[in-house]
Amino acid sequence: MPKIKTHPPPPKPLKTTPSPKLKPSTPFTSHLFPNNSTKQKPKLRKPSLLTKSHIKPLKQLLPYKK
């Protein structure tokens, strides 16, 4: 029986939490913080989780992520 292949783009920016939720990496957080607005900075510090509607199609693309 052949192995199931993961879809190439999604696995990199996603991590799984202990409860099976997907946590995406937030953009605009690597460098150049002074250029971001003062409202944007606190929002970028908080972790973001995907909603149920976003998780379902991604789970099909990631068969080996639990």
Task: Kindly give, in sequence order, each residue whose CB lies less than 8 Å from that of residue 61, ignoring residues fewer than 6 positions away.
Answer: 6, 7, 10
Sign of CA dihedral 1, 59, 21, 47: positive
Q: Is the model's pLDDT at 12 over the cut of 80?
A: no
Q: How confident is the model at residue 24 (pLDDT cuts 50, 70, 90)?
A: confident
Sign of CA dihedral 60, 61, 63, 64: negative
Rounded to whole angstroms, the Cα distance separating 32 from 12 reads 22
Q: pLDDT at position 39, please?
A: 92
Q: pLDDT at position 66, please?
A: 61
Mean of pLDDT values over 38-51: 86
Instruction: Write down how long the chain is.
Output: 66
Measure the N-to-C terminal CA separation of the chain; round to a whole number of Å.
Answer: 21
Q: Does the predicted TM-score (pTM) go above 0.75?
A: no
